[in-house]
């Protein structure tokens, strides 16, 4: 545990659910953890005891809602089948709620919705982009992403450019399909979740920067927040500029989004997508904002020394060796810091004689 983590309250301890098992973490809320084939090797998923109204004159349907799904592969499906057999008290899945469109969150949604004849609930923006990404490679690898990263300095590493260009099926391999229909989540929308007669109100809290229209779920009465990827306890959320929106400023959007989360009770139990549940939401927001202020200072100092491309800035912001998967995230995040400073008027952007875009303080 690092010094920043010691400022948080890991009130549920450090034990995590085994694959195919679940822990009770709050009233009507169970914690599930699935494996991921990346350096970030897990995702936390959530089961909410639920009910939905039936047809007029018929009793309500009792069951569960799933929040986030894991990627789509054989081991994830097998783990879900274990959950269905042992953790649902014989009740069905009624709806599949997805915080955002990244593969570890939506990957198995199509299978879960078909398996249970359940509806997908997600923001309209993330639904549309997930549908697009599962049938194209823009923004997630392939020639367009490679060309975009090359012009931001990755051309200095031809093997990395070739590696990004070859990842034409990255998203589709993890998200082979997206449901054809959905229910729309909107900022401020209230979901009534729980068994009949004991339903609680969960409010959608929109967040930008990490995903197009990320939805966290806040239950004020129980003081529980399913934060998705917007607030994580151990690592900072990836915020990237990608090829389909090449002049974007996602980091400013992200920082504004987490600042709005201060409206949530500071004593709320935060259920993040990665890491351990914790209390200390406002403290973690302070830490994340300070982290990015430090990265801004490092970027400004580097750009004052000499013009920097996003690729040249990567070792300034990331002090460890990166594999190709990590490098794609680091490139996007390096550019996000440069764009925030550029669009605030702190840096100038120009194209060098080698065709590479660089940023400088003069």
Distance CA 257, CA 40 (A): 23
CB atoms within 10 A of CB 352: 11
Strands 224-228 and 269-272, by their bridges, are: parallel
Its pTM stands at 0.96
In the chain, the domains with their CATH numbers are 5-297 (3.60.15.10)
pLDDT of residue 56: 73
pLDDT of residue 362: 77
Distance CA 190, CA 319 (A): 42
pLDDT of residue 135: 82
Give the H or E element holding residue 76: helix 74-86
Residues with Cβ < 8 Å from 345, sequence gap 6 or more?
none
10-residue mean pLDDT series, the chain (362 residues):
92 95 97 95 98 80 97 97 98 98 98 98 97 77 93 97 92 95 98 95 98 98 98 97 96 98 98 98 98 98 98 96 92 98 98 97 86
Distance CA 343, CA 347 (A): 8
pLDDT of residue 138: 56
Q: How far apart are the first and last CA of the chain?
A: 41
Tokens 């009740």 belong to residue: 91
pLDDT of residue 35: 97
pLDDT of residue 76: 97
For residue 102, what is the DSSP state?
Answer: S
Token pair for 41: 């090797």
pLDDT of residue 60: 85
DSSP letters along 204-254, please?
EEEE-SSSTTEEEEEETTTTEEEEETSS-SSSPPP----TTSTT--HHHHH
pLDDT digits (tens, 9 = 90+) for 320-359: 899 998 999 999 999 999 999 999 999 999 999 999 999 9
């Amino acid at each position: 545990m690092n010094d920043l983590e010691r400022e948080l309250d890991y009130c549920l301890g450090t034990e995590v659910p085994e694959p195919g098992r679940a822990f009770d973490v709050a009233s009507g809320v169970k914690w599930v953890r699935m494996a991921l084939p990346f350096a970030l090797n897990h995702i936390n998923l959530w089961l909410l005891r639920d009910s939905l109204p039936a047809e007029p004159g018929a009793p309500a349907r009792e069951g569960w809602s799933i929040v986030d799904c894991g990627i789509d592969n054989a081991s994830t499906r097998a783990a879900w089948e274990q959950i269905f057999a042992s953790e649902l008290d014989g009740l069905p899945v009624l709806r599949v709620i997805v915080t955002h469109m990244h593969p570890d969150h939506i990957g198995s949604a199509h299978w879960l919705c078909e398996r249970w004849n359940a509806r997908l609930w997600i923001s309209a923006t993330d639904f549309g982009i997930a549908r697009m990404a599962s049938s194209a490679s823009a923004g997630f690898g392939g020639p367009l992403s490679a060309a975009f990263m090359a012009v931001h300095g990755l051309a200095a590493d031809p093997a990395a450019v070739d590696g990004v260009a070859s990842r034409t099926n990255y998203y589709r391999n993890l998200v082979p399909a997206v449901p054809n229909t959905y229910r729309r989540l909107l900022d401020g929308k209230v979901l009534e979740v729980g068994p009949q007669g004991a339903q609680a109100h969960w409010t959608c809290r929109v967040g930008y920067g990490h995903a197009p229209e990320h939805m966290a779920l806040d239950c004020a009465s129980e003081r529980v927040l399913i934060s998705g990827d917007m607030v994580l306890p151990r690592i900072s959320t990836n915020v990237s500029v990608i090829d389909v929106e090449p002049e974007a400023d996602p980091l400013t959007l992200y920082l504004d989004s987490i600042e709005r989360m201060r409206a949530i009770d500071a004593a709320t139990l935060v259920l993040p997508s990665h890491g351990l549940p914790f209390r200390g939401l406002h403290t973690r927001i302070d830490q994340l904002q300070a982290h990015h202020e430090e990265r801004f200072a490092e970027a400004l100092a580097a750009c004052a020394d000499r013009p920097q491309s996003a690729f040249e800035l990567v070792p300034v912001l990331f002090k460890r060796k990166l594999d190709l998967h990590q490098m794609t995230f680091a490139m996007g995040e390096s550019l996000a810091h440069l764009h925030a400073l550029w669009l605030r008027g702190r840096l100038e952007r120009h194209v060098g004689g080698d065709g590479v875009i660089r940023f400088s303080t003069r």
